[in-house]
Each structure stands twice: as structure tokens, then as C-alpha cells.
Amino acid sequence: MKENLRMVVVLTCITLLSGLILTATYEVTAPLIEAQQEAALAQAVENVLGQVTDLEQEIIDEKEYFLARKNDYRVAALVTSARGYGGPVDVMVGVNVSTEEIMEIKVVDHTETPGLGTVIEEERFVQHFRGLDFKDSYRDEVDIITGSTVSCVAVIRAVEEAVALIRLNILEEEVEIPEDLTPDEMREAFIAEFVGDEYEEFERDDLIVYQGPDVIALEGSKEGYIGPVKTILAVDIESTELIGIEVLDQEETPGLGDPITEEDFLQDFIGQSFQDDFRLVTEDPEPGEIEILSNATVSAEAVVDLVNHAFEVLRNMEAGGEF
């Protein structure tokens, strides 16, 4: 009993002392750490905007904007983030709001592969952005460096988002912010748009079927270049035509495989009857044919295979008198 008591007392004393010491250390260091963080941020702002006056911070939609004046110009900076190869890539983008130009960008945080992806911090990559006008896309303006495609594209996407946000919130233009919906949110929106509120959900031949009174949606995935490509499509029962298609989830190479998620590629599927399968062609697609995207062949095939598989299931369902 005495020994037990001693153990309790000793451990209590040790933890108590430890707590006291740490509280004291925290009290001393917390303001210092905060000052360091502010200094680092101010330094980052200076890196992209240079010497400015009237620097102020503004928070719009939970995002921090740094607004300032430089000579007679209004300038702004903010940090945006995009998914790179090793994790998020955070980029601080400095823009001249008056002339609608990018002034300078700086990668503030990343976990890209040393020696490969780290090129995004270097002058030979960053220089491409200097002086570019405000645009929706910078894919054609910036040279992507071999061996670091994913990291470079991440920076480009972050810059695109930053420019869009500046145009929306500072210039008050109407622009679409590239939004990342989760697959579940996309599915929900897709079903609400095409199928409606009332539907029956069941599984059939590896596909999930959402059968509504007028429209059937089918969801499934096929193996792409890197991982499964999850696609959902909607077919009108009356006309047998495909009326909507969306890629819900994919892990394809950013900048190469991911055009399969874009409107340009997906619109060619619209209007096709499920009686006929799609074919992939290399050029000049006619109805019933889908043009292969260069550099994204495997990814495109995954979508086409899934659509053809869904059509087959639909034909079987029709033959079975299920609708």
C-alpha cells in the first residue's frame, strides 16, 4: 500500500512539474513564434510585391488577401494551393490589380521530390509567370519541365485559382472559381439534376444503378492509367439517349489524364443512344465516335469502356423488361 502511494505521488509530482515548466516555456515562446510567423509572411509578401506602401490584410471568404499600393498601382497578393505530386503545393501570387498582370509568384510550401519537383521553386520555372495578363488558363503560357510535370501543373493551377479569386473578389468581375467538389457531392448534384428525387438504387454487373421514373443513372469505374476512373452517366428512358455524363473521381496524371473530366471531352458522349457502343478514333470523330486525347489515351479508354459497359447493362435491362 505504501509503495502504491509512493508511485502515485512521484508520478503526480513529475507530471505537475513538467506541466509547470512547459506552461512557462510556452508563455515565453508563443509571442516569439507568432512574431516569427508574421515576419515570414511579411517577407513572403515582399518577395512577390517588392516594396509597397499601405499594406493591409483583408479576409474575404476565409481567405487572406494582402492589398497594398506600389507607386500609383494597386497590388495584391494571396496564397493558393493545389495538389502536387507529394502533397499540397502552396503558392503566393502577387498581382498588379491596376494593370491586371501577374507580378511575381513564390512557392511558399511544398513536399515535392527533391531534385525533380523542387524545380518549381527555381527561377527558370517561376520566370514564365512574370508579367502575364490575367487569364483563365496558363497551360499554354508556361513551359512545363520534364520530370516535374505534376509539380509544375500544380503551380499553374494554384496561380489560375489566385487570378480567378482576385478577379472575382477584388476586381468584382464575374468569373468561375475552379472548385473541387468531392465525388459524393458531384454524384449527389448529378443525380439531383438528371434523375430527380425519386429513384431506386441497386447494383447490377459492377455498376450502381439509380433508376428514376424517366431517367436512369449508372455509376461505375474502370481502371485508368494510374487508378480507377469513376464515371456516372444518365440516360433518358424515352429517347434512349445519353443526356449527361461526369467523371466523379480519378487519379490520372494532372495535366495529362485529367482532360477526361472536362467538358470538351465529355460533350461528345451526349445524344448517343444506348443501342450503339462508342468507338475510339484518332481524329475527326463522327457521332458514335470519341476522339482519343493525345497523352490521355488510357484515361479516355477507361471512360469509353465504362460507358459501353453501362450501355450493355441498359440493353439487358430493356430486354428483361425492367423499364
Q: Which residues of this protein are in contact with other proteins, per CB under 8 A? A: 3, 6-7, 10-11, 14-15, 17-18, 21-22, 25-26, 29-30, 32-33, 36-37, 40, 113-116
- Name the minimum Å distance from CB 84 to other proteins: 16
- 1 versus 32: smaller Cβ distance to other proteins: 32
Closest CA to 278 of 244, 310, 313: 310
- 11 versus 189: smaller Cβ distance to other proteins: 11
- 13 versus 189: smaller Cβ distance to other proteins: 13
- 9 versus 226: smaller Cβ distance to other proteins: 9
- 116 versus 171: smaller Cβ distance to other proteins: 116
- Name the minimum Å distance from CB 91 to other proteins: 17
- Name the minimum Å distance from CB 151 to other proteins: 14
How many Cβ atoms sit within 10 Å of the Cβ of residue 266? 19
- Name the minimum Å distance from CB 130 to other proteins: 25
- Name the minimum Å distance from CB 122 to other proteins: 13
Give the span between the Cα atoms of 196 and 213, in whole angstroms: 9
- Name the minimum Å distance from CB 13 to other proteins: 9
- Name the minimum Å distance from CB 65 to other proteins: 23
- 113 versus 273: smaller Cβ distance to other proteins: 113
- Name the minimum Å distance from CB 148 to other proteins: 11
3-state secondary structure the chain: CHHHHHHHHHHHHHHHHHHHHHHHHHHHHHHHHHHHHHHHHHHHHHHHHCCCEEEEEEEECCEEEEEEEECCEEEEEEEEEEECCCCEEEEEEEEECCCCEEEEEEEEECCCCCCCHHHHHCHHHHHHHCCCECCCCCCCCCCCCCCCHHHHHHHHHHHHHHHHHHHHHCCCCCCCCCCCCCHHHHHHHHHHHHCCCCCEEEEECCEEEEECCCEEEEEEEEECCCCEEEEEEEEECCCCEEEEEEEEECCCCCCCCHHHHCHHHHHHHCCCECCCCCEEECCCCCCCEEECCCCCHHHHHHHHHHHHHHHHHHHHHHHCCCC
- 8 versus 60: smaller Cβ distance to other proteins: 8
How wide is the angle at C-alpha 35 spanned by C-alphas 34 and 38, nearest 5°?
85
- 43 versus 294: smaller Cβ distance to other proteins: 43
